[in-house]
Chains A and B, each alone.
Chain A
Amino acid sequence: EPEVTQTPSHQVTQMGQEVILRCVPISNHLYFYWYRQILGQKVEFLVSFYNNEISEKSEIFDDQFSVERPDGSNFTLKIRSTKLEDSAMYFCASSGGFQPQHFGDGTRLSIL
Protein backbone atom coordinates (compact mmCIF):
# COMPACT_ATOMS: atom_id res chain seq x y z
CA GLU A 1 0.00 0.00 0.00
CA PRO A 2 1.36 3.46 -0.90
CA GLU A 3 2.61 5.45 2.04
CA VAL A 4 3.89 8.88 3.02
CA THR A 5 7.60 8.84 3.86
CA GLN A 6 9.42 11.40 5.98
CA THR A 7 13.10 12.05 6.49
CA PRO A 8 14.95 12.28 8.75
CA SER A 9 13.23 10.36 11.53
CA HIS A 10 15.07 12.47 14.12
CA GLN A 11 16.69 15.88 13.67
CA VAL A 12 18.74 17.62 16.35
CA THR A 13 19.46 21.29 15.71
CA GLN A 14 20.93 24.21 17.62
CA MET A 15 18.56 27.05 18.46
CA GLY A 16 18.63 29.73 15.78
CA GLN A 17 19.62 27.34 13.02
CA GLU A 18 17.55 26.60 9.94
CA VAL A 19 16.04 23.16 9.53
CA ILE A 20 14.34 21.48 6.58
CA LEU A 21 12.03 18.54 7.08
CA ARG A 22 11.34 16.39 4.05
CA CYS A 23 8.33 14.39 2.96
CA VAL A 24 7.43 12.29 -0.04
CA PRO A 25 3.62 12.23 -0.28
CA ILE A 26 1.63 9.46 -1.93
CA SER A 27 2.27 9.85 -5.64
CA ASN A 28 -1.20 10.62 -7.02
CA HIS A 29 -2.28 12.82 -4.13
CA LEU A 30 -3.09 16.49 -4.65
CA TYR A 31 -3.24 17.97 -1.16
CA PHE A 32 -0.30 18.11 1.22
CA TYR A 33 -0.21 19.03 4.89
CA TRP A 34 2.07 19.55 7.83
CA TYR A 35 1.00 18.96 11.42
CA ARG A 36 2.98 18.94 14.62
CA GLN A 37 2.58 17.39 18.05
CA ILE A 38 4.41 18.90 20.99
CA LEU A 39 5.06 16.29 23.68
CA GLY A 40 1.94 15.78 25.77
CA GLN A 41 -0.22 17.98 23.56
CA LYS A 42 -2.66 17.54 20.69
CA VAL A 43 -1.76 17.07 17.05
CA GLU A 44 -2.00 20.60 15.59
CA PHE A 45 -2.50 21.68 11.99
CA LEU A 46 0.21 23.90 10.51
CA VAL A 47 -0.42 24.30 6.79
CA SER A 48 -2.04 22.79 3.73
CA PHE A 49 -0.74 23.05 0.18
CA TYR A 50 -2.54 22.57 -3.11
CA ASN A 51 -1.74 23.44 -6.71
CA ASN A 52 1.68 24.79 -5.73
CA GLU A 53 0.44 27.25 -3.18
CA ILE A 54 -0.62 27.41 0.44
CA SER A 55 -4.36 26.83 0.69
CA GLU A 56 -4.70 27.22 4.43
CA LYS A 57 -2.42 27.94 7.39
CA SER A 58 -2.83 28.13 11.13
CA GLU A 59 -1.75 30.89 13.49
CA ILE A 60 1.26 28.75 14.38
CA PHE A 61 2.56 28.99 10.82
CA ASP A 62 4.25 32.38 11.06
CA ASP A 63 6.99 33.96 8.96
CA GLN A 64 9.57 31.56 10.35
CA PHE A 65 7.89 28.70 8.50
CA SER A 66 7.73 28.01 4.80
CA VAL A 67 6.73 25.09 2.60
CA GLU A 68 7.82 24.12 -0.84
CA ARG A 69 7.27 21.44 -3.41
CA PRO A 70 10.62 21.67 -5.19
CA ASP A 71 9.95 18.85 -7.62
CA GLY A 72 7.21 16.38 -8.48
CA SER A 73 7.71 14.20 -5.45
CA ASN A 74 9.06 16.08 -2.43
CA PHE A 75 7.24 18.39 -0.03
CA THR A 76 9.36 20.28 2.49
CA LEU A 77 8.83 22.30 5.65
CA LYS A 78 11.52 24.87 6.48
CA ILE A 79 11.91 26.59 9.82
CA ARG A 80 14.20 29.56 9.33
CA SER A 81 15.45 30.27 12.83
CA THR A 82 14.50 27.53 15.23
CA LYS A 83 13.35 28.19 18.78
CA LEU A 84 13.24 25.84 21.75
CA GLU A 85 9.44 25.71 21.48
CA ASP A 86 9.70 24.31 17.95
CA SER A 87 10.74 20.98 19.48
CA ALA A 88 7.98 18.58 18.47
CA MET A 89 7.02 15.66 16.29
CA TYR A 90 6.27 16.94 12.78
CA PHE A 91 3.90 14.90 10.64
CA CYS A 92 3.44 15.23 6.91
CA ALA A 93 0.16 14.07 5.37
CA SER A 94 -1.37 13.87 1.93
CA SER A 95 -4.79 13.28 0.46
CA GLY A 96 -6.20 12.79 -3.00
CA GLY A 97 -8.63 15.70 -2.80
CA PHE A 98 -10.94 13.56 -0.78
CA GLN A 99 -10.40 12.84 2.85
CA PRO A 100 -8.92 10.91 4.59
CA GLN A 101 -5.47 12.31 5.01
CA HIS A 102 -2.68 9.76 5.17
CA PHE A 103 0.18 10.46 7.54
CA GLY A 104 3.86 9.69 7.55
CA ASP A 105 5.68 8.38 10.62
CA GLY A 106 6.94 11.83 11.53
CA THR A 107 10.22 13.62 12.18
CA ARG A 108 11.16 14.22 15.77
CA LEU A 109 12.73 17.69 15.90
CA SER A 110 14.85 18.47 18.96
CA ILE A 111 16.09 22.03 19.43
CA LEU A 112 19.04 22.46 21.80
Chain B
Amino acid sequence: DQQVKQNSPSLSVQEGRISILNCDYTNSMFDYFLWYKKYPAEGPTFLISISSIKDKNEDGRFTVFLNKSAKHLSLHIVPSQPGDSAVYFCAASALGETSGSRLTFGEGTQLTVNP
Protein backbone atom coordinates (compact mmCIF):
# COMPACT_ATOMS: atom_id res chain seq x y z
CA ASP B 1 0.00 0.00 0.00
CA GLN B 2 1.82 3.07 -1.28
CA GLN B 3 -1.05 5.55 -1.01
CA VAL B 4 0.75 7.56 1.67
CA LYS B 5 4.50 7.75 1.60
CA GLN B 6 7.10 9.29 3.85
CA ASN B 7 10.35 9.01 1.96
CA SER B 8 12.69 9.97 4.78
CA PRO B 9 13.00 7.29 7.45
CA SER B 10 14.98 9.61 9.68
CA LEU B 11 15.79 13.27 10.25
CA SER B 12 18.27 14.84 12.64
CA VAL B 13 18.21 18.54 13.56
CA GLN B 14 19.76 20.82 16.16
CA GLU B 15 17.71 22.15 19.02
CA GLY B 16 16.18 25.51 18.15
CA ARG B 17 16.27 24.92 14.39
CA ILE B 18 13.38 24.05 12.11
CA SER B 19 12.33 20.44 11.50
CA ILE B 20 10.55 19.74 8.22
CA LEU B 21 8.90 16.38 7.75
CA ASN B 22 7.45 15.49 4.37
CA CYS B 23 4.64 13.27 3.16
CA ASP B 24 3.28 12.43 -0.30
CA TYR B 25 0.02 10.79 -1.23
CA THR B 26 -1.43 9.33 -4.40
CA ASN B 27 -5.14 8.86 -3.68
CA SER B 28 -7.16 11.85 -4.93
CA MET B 29 -10.02 10.88 -2.62
CA PHE B 30 -8.02 11.85 0.48
CA ASP B 31 -9.34 15.12 1.83
CA TYR B 32 -8.24 15.20 5.42
CA PHE B 33 -4.69 14.78 6.66
CA LEU B 34 -3.24 14.27 10.11
CA TRP B 35 0.13 14.09 11.78
CA TYR B 36 0.71 11.79 14.72
CA LYS B 37 3.71 11.56 17.01
CA LYS B 38 4.77 8.26 18.54
CA TYR B 39 7.14 7.55 21.39
CA PRO B 40 8.46 4.01 21.99
CA ALA B 41 6.00 1.74 23.81
CA GLU B 42 3.18 4.25 23.34
CA GLY B 43 0.41 4.65 20.80
CA PRO B 44 0.30 7.38 18.17
CA THR B 45 -0.64 10.77 19.64
CA PHE B 46 -2.54 13.24 17.49
CA LEU B 47 -0.55 16.38 16.73
CA ILE B 48 -2.21 18.50 14.06
CA SER B 49 -4.51 18.11 11.06
CA ILE B 50 -5.56 19.90 7.90
CA SER B 51 -8.58 19.72 5.67
CA SER B 52 -8.18 19.83 1.90
CA ILE B 53 -10.02 23.15 1.75
CA LYS B 54 -7.03 24.77 3.46
CA ASP B 55 -3.38 24.99 2.56
CA LYS B 56 -2.01 25.78 6.00
CA ASN B 57 -2.86 25.07 9.62
CA GLU B 58 -0.87 26.28 12.59
CA ASP B 59 -0.85 25.25 16.23
CA GLY B 60 1.89 26.75 18.35
CA ARG B 61 5.25 25.45 17.16
CA PHE B 62 3.61 23.11 14.64
CA THR B 63 2.47 24.09 11.15
CA VAL B 64 1.17 21.78 8.47
CA PHE B 65 1.23 22.81 4.81
CA LEU B 66 -0.83 21.12 2.12
CA ASN B 67 -0.09 21.33 -1.62
CA LYS B 68 -3.01 19.57 -3.28
CA SER B 69 -1.75 19.90 -6.82
CA ALA B 70 1.49 18.17 -5.83
CA LYS B 71 -0.28 15.79 -3.43
CA HIS B 72 2.26 16.75 -0.81
CA LEU B 73 2.11 17.86 2.78
CA SER B 74 4.74 18.86 5.25
CA LEU B 75 4.99 19.40 8.98
CA HIS B 76 7.17 22.23 10.26
CA ILE B 77 8.31 22.33 13.86
CA VAL B 78 9.83 25.63 14.97
CA PRO B 79 11.79 25.79 17.18
CA SER B 80 12.64 22.11 17.56
CA GLN B 81 13.13 20.79 21.08
CA PRO B 82 14.78 17.58 22.32
CA GLY B 83 11.37 16.40 23.58
CA ASP B 84 10.16 16.44 19.99
CA SER B 85 12.35 13.42 19.27
CA ALA B 86 9.89 10.71 18.22
CA VAL B 87 8.50 8.92 15.17
CA TYR B 88 6.15 11.14 13.17
CA PHE B 89 3.41 9.54 11.08
CA CYS B 90 1.48 11.20 8.32
CA ALA B 91 -2.06 9.84 7.87
CA ALA B 92 -4.86 10.50 5.43
CA SER B 93 -8.59 10.03 5.39
CA ALA B 94 -11.29 10.19 2.73
CA LEU B 95 -14.80 11.54 3.38
CA GLY B 96 -13.58 14.51 5.35
CA GLU B 97 -13.25 15.43 8.96
CA THR B 98 -16.75 14.50 10.01
CA SER B 99 -16.66 10.80 9.48
CA GLY B 100 -15.32 7.64 11.03
CA SER B 101 -13.43 6.63 7.94
CA ARG B 102 -10.19 4.69 8.08
CA LEU B 103 -6.79 6.33 8.34
CA THR B 104 -4.07 5.36 5.88
CA PHE B 105 -0.62 5.82 7.36
CA GLY B 106 2.80 6.56 5.98
CA GLU B 107 5.88 4.65 7.08
CA GLY B 108 6.90 7.21 9.67
CA THR B 109 9.97 9.44 10.06
CA GLN B 110 12.20 9.20 13.12
CA LEU B 111 13.01 12.76 14.22
CA THR B 112 15.99 13.28 16.49
CA VAL B 113 16.54 16.74 17.96
CA ASN B 114 20.04 17.13 19.30
CA PRO B 115 20.69 19.47 22.27
Contact = CB atoms under 8 A, between A and B. Distances in A.
Contact of B44 (A45, A55, A91): A91
Contact of B98 (A48, A56, A58, A97): A97
Interface of A: 4, 6, 30-31, 33, 35, 42-45, 48, 50, 55-56, 58, 91, 93, 95, 97-106
Nearest to A105: B43
25 contacts: A30-B100, A33-B100, A35-B103, A42-B1, A42-B106, A42-B107, A43-B89, A43-B91, A48-B101, A55-B100, A56-B100, A56-B101, A58-B102, A91-B43, A98-B98, A99-B32, A99-B49, A100-B34, A101-B103, A103-B36, A103-B43, A103-B44, A104-B43, A105-B41, A106-B42
Interface string B42-65: 111110010000000000000000
Interface of B: 1, 32, 34, 36, 41-46, 49, 89, 91, 93, 97-108
Nearest to A40: B107
A100 B102 contact: no
Contacts of B107: 42
Contact of B102 (A4, A48, A104): A48
B100 A97 contact: yes
